[in-house]
Amino acid sequence: MCRPSHLLHFLKLWLGRSQKCPLLLDISSGLTKVDPLNCMLFMLVCSHLDRWHDVKFRLMTPSAVEALLEVVSGSKGLLLESLDLYVDDIEPSQAKRLGDLVNVSFPNLRRFAFVNRDVVPFAGTLRLHQLTHVHLDCPKTLDQCSALLQKCVQGIEVSMGNIRAATAPLPSSSTLTALPKLKCLSLKSKSSDLCTILLSFICPNLHTLAITPDFKHAGENPDFLETFLAQSGCQLDEFRLHTENWIPEDSFIPYLRVPCLQKVQRLFLRCYNTSDTTIALLTARDVTHSILPRLKSISLATCQSSDGVVFEMIASRRLCPKDDDRQLVQLESFLVYYHRPGFGAALREGKVPAPGRKFFRYHERDVARFKDFIAEGMDVKYDGI
C-alpha cells in the first residue's frame, strides 16, 4: 500500500514513463483546502489534459468543479472520446460553463455521462448530435428530455434519468423524430408520462428498451409500447422494467403481456413486489402456449416469492429439448435476488429494512435445485437480503 506522501511522486513517475500514451483515468476529488495533497494530485492529472482519452471524474464539491473548469478553459483535449462526470455538488452557473467548455475543449468527444441530483446541465448547449453514447441522470422535464433526445441523431446507447413533469407541450404525435442508429434506450421517470416521449420517436434498430415508468401516469395500460414499437418497426431482444417504489403487482404485470414483447430473449425485472403471481405468469404451462416463450435469460432483481415456485418456473423452461422447433425455447441463464418476507411491507411504510443474509432459510428448496441446474451447466446466480 502506497503512503499518501508518496502518491505524488509515483503519479509523476507514471505520467513521465507513459510519455505520450493516451490516458484512461478514474478520479475522485473532494478538493478541499484542508487536503493540499489531493489538490496537487488532481491538478497534476488535469495538467495532462492533452493526453486524456477515457476519463471518469467524481467531483464532490463546487471547488473541485471550479478547479476542473479552470484547467479545461482555453485547453484542447483532442484525444478525449469518453467523459463521465459524477458530480455531488455543483452550482447551476458552473453546469452551464461546464457544458460550454465540453463543447469547445473536446471536439472529438463521442461518449458523455453526467450524473447529479440537483441540476440539469447545459440542456441547450451540449453538442449531442455527435455523441454515440449519452447518459444524463439529472433533473429534466419531459419536454427537455424530448428536446435532448431529438439531438441524439448519432446515438447508439442513450440513457435519460430523473425525468419530471413537462413544463411545455411536446410535439404532436404526427411529428416524429427518427433515431436510426439507436440500439439501447433507457428512460427513468420521476413524475412524467414516458409514453409521451416514446410516441414522438422512430427507432428502427432498437434492440434494448429499459423503462422506469411513473405508474401514476402509465397506470396499468402499457399499450403505448405496442404503438411505439410498431411505428419504429423494430424487434426488441431485451426488455428491462424497473419500479422506483412498492406498487401493486397487478400494475406492472400487464407489461409482460404486451404482444410486441413476446419475442424478447432477455427479461430484467426490478419490481419490488415481484412475488408468486409474477412467477406463475412466467412459468411455462405448455410448450406452444406460454408467455414470453423466446426467453433465454431472466433476471429478477427483487423477488419475494414462496419457496419452490422459482425453481419450478426455471424447470418449466428447461424441459423442452434444444432442437424443439415449437414455440418455447430453453432457458439458458437466470439471476434472482431475493427480498425476505416483510421487505415489501417495510417499503410501503417508508422504512428501510435492515440488511440480512437469512434469505436461504426461506428458499431452501429453490437453492437446492439451483445447485442442480448449475451442475447441468446452466448459468444461475442467486443472492438475497
Q: Which of 77, 94, 126 is the last residue of a domain?
A: 126
pLDDT for position 309: 94
**Residues 215 and 258 occupy one common structural domain:** no
**Residues 280 and 336 occupy one common structural domain:** yes
For residues 373 and 336, is the Cβ–Cβ distance under 8 A? no
For residues 225 and 253, is the Cβ–Cβ distance under 8 A? no
**Residues 151 and 185 occupy one common structural domain:** yes
Residue 162 lies in a domain: yes
pLDDT for position 340: 67
What is the three-class DSSP state of 331? coil
Tens of pLDDT, residue by residue over 219-275, are 557 888 999 999 999 999 999 999 877 778 888 899 999 999 999 999 999 988 899
* One-letter amino acid for residue 89 of the chain: D
Question: Residue 2 class from Cβ within 10 Å (0-12 exposed, 13-18 middle, 19+ buried)?
Answer: exposed
**Residues 302 and 378 occupy one common structural domain:** yes
**Residues 249 and 223 occupy one common structural domain:** no
**Residues 228 and 249 occupy one common structural domain:** no
Q: Which of 205, 236, 267 is the last residue of a domain?
A: 236
Residue 53 lies in a domain: yes
**Residues 83 and 218 occupy one common structural domain:** no
**Residues 35 and 121 occupy one common structural domain:** yes
Q: Residue 153, Cβ neighbours under 10 Å: how many?
A: 16
C-alpha 127/C-alpha 136 separation (Å) is 13
Residue 193 lies in a domain: yes
For residue 38, the enclosing domain spans 14-126
Split the chain (385 residues) into runs of 10 and give each run's mean pLDDT. 69 87 82 64 84 91 85 87 91 84 90 86 74 94 90 97 82 81 94 83 97 70 89 96 83 90 95 90 82 95 91 88 65 90 54 56 87 93 85
**Residues 213 and 347 occupy one common structural domain:** no
**Residues 298 and 376 occupy one common structural domain:** yes
Kindly report whether the global pTM for this prediction surpasses the value 0.85.
yes
pLDDT for position 1: 46
**Residues 208 and 250 occupy one common structural domain:** no
Tens of pLDDT, residue by residue over 96-130, are 888 888 888 899 999 999 998 887 655 556 889 99
What is the three-class DSSP state of 165? coil
pLDDT for position 86: 92
pLDDT for position 97: 86
Q: H or E stretch including 94? A: helix 92-105
C-alpha 249/C-alpha 61 separation (Å) is 41
pLDDT for position 185: 98
Query: Of 268, 195, 196, nearest to 237 (Cα)?
Result: 268
Answer positive or negative: Cα dihedral of 194, 199, 200, 201: positive
Cβ neighbors of 279 (< 8 A, separation 6 or more) are: 303, 305, 309, 310, 313
Residue 7 lies in a domain: no
Residue 5 lies in a domain: no
Residue 341 lies in a domain: yes
* Domain count across the chain: 3
Residue 196 lies in a domain: yes
Residue 20 lies in a domain: yes
For residues 207 and 181, is the Cβ–Cβ distance under 8 A? no
130 grid coordinates: 455527435
C-alpha 73/C-alpha 104 separation (Å) is 9
**Residues 228 and 251 occupy one common structural domain:** no
Q: Which of 100, 126, 152 is the last residue of a domain?
A: 126
Q: Any idea what DSSP says for residue 252?
A: H
Torsion angle, alpha carbons of 123, 76, 112, 15, to 10: -150
Q: Any idea what DSSP says for residue 288?
A: T
pLDDT for position 159: 97
Per this entry, what is the length of the chain?
A: 385
